[in-house]
Structure 1
């Protein structure tokens, strides 16, 4: 009986230790994990209809788009500069539209998209929310310049390298919009210095 109890305690300890090492995944990581195990041999009705790189592209763009909307809402409420407020409102409108288009494509391809921005973008939003006045405006503008450079690069890559025609077309259509956003926010940043 003592051996059985001892073995049970070891098993419980091992499981507890394993559970502690499994950090909670954020929404993007969860979506990538779900997509990775979907069957790619079907047409999308039961499995995923795109390859792994295309599904990762979709989750990255969805993640960034949701972050842009969240940060844009903050800017439209908290910004001091009229230009920054206007830019924030434009982010909400344009990225909501792009997010909806991407969701429609993802639905037809059986791609699971994140339901909330990842931890990195949530931290950025929390940091922005803690700021006010000109400090907020500067931090938001800097974050938008950095974010739009990254998204433009991903969209450019997607427009050339996505194997799925719909995702490739989405990337090609969305890239000029993001490049226009980048040009506008860089002009705002330059005017602030």
Structure 2
């Protein structure tokens, strides 16, 4: 259940509770105002563990993982060199592992993740599928370089602006791996 649904349910419960607590006839004159006062909204008492920044990073990082797993699988099958096929396999394995940690963190915090990569990422994947041979290799490296540059920037933003200790901690763990991937693609693109 998402945070928004939990907050709505808590608010509804807080508003409904005084109706049943008034006792006897519920006229304004006969109601005990101290007993029937609604407690402050439940959502106000619950600590905000996930800020909009944290939630956005979890969602975008998850979409990126899904896109890079798909692209990696494509490279593992279509790459014209052993190096490209190996990079593809590495992406699949490492982004699956990264995404498992991310999904567990999101679930523990009540953040619902998208089920697919973004529409833009899906379009890029479809374009990549059309490539063959050395052109595929070049397009794959360019696409993954750009994707990792964006992922590194998003992750640095989460580290500096996020509020959730769990999410910021995950971003700190993830950043070195993303930077390593970016360095690998940068070297491959330059050769």
TM-score of the aligned structures, taking structure 1 as reference length: 0.75
Conservation of the 8 A alpha-carbon contact between 1:66 and 1:116: yes
Structure 1 residues 38 and 129, CA gap change in structure 2 (3 angstroms): farther
Conservation of the 8 A alpha-carbon contact between 2:76 and 2:89: yes
- How far apart, CA to CA, are the structure 2 residues paired with 1:181 and 1:121? 18
CA RMSD of aligned residues (A): 1.9
Cα drift, residue 39 of structure 1: 2.6
Structure 1 residues 127 and 155, CA gap change in structure 2 (3 angstroms): same
- Match in the other structure for 1:21: none
3-state DSSP of counterpart to 2:156: helix
The structure having more radius of gyration, on CA atoms, is 2
Conservation of the 8 A alpha-carbon contact between 2:76 and 2:85: yes
- Match in the other structure for 1:82: 82
Cα drift, residue 52 of structure 1: 1.6
- Match in the other structure for 2:146: 146
- How far apart, CA to CA, are the structure 2 residues paired with 1:101 and 1:142? 27
- How far apart, CA to CA, are the structure 2 residues paired with 1:43 and 1:142? 45
Return 5+ residue gaps in structure 2 as ranges: 9-42
Cα drift, residue 160 of structure 1: 1.8
Q: Where in structure 2 are the equivalents of 1:150-161 lying within 5 Å?
A: 150-161=150-161
Residue 103 in structure 1 maps to residue 69 in structure 2 = no
- Match in the other structure for 1:93: 93
- How far apart, CA to CA, are the structure 2 residues paired with 1:105 and 1:62? 11
Conservation of the 8 A alpha-carbon contact between 2:51 and 2:162: no
Q: Where in structure 2 are the equivalents of 1:1-193 lying within 5 Å?
A: 39=7, 41=43, 49-191=49-191
- How far apart, CA to CA, are the structure 2 residues paired with 1:143 and 1:156? 20
Return 5+ residue gaps in structure 1 as ranges: 1-33
- How far apart, CA to CA, are the structure 1 residues paired with 2:7 and 2:61? 22
TM-score of the aligned structures, taking structure 2 as reference length: 0.76
- How far apart, CA to CA, are the structure 1 residues paired with 2:142 and 2:5? 37
- How far apart, CA to CA, are the structure 1 residues paired with 2:159 and 2:82? 33
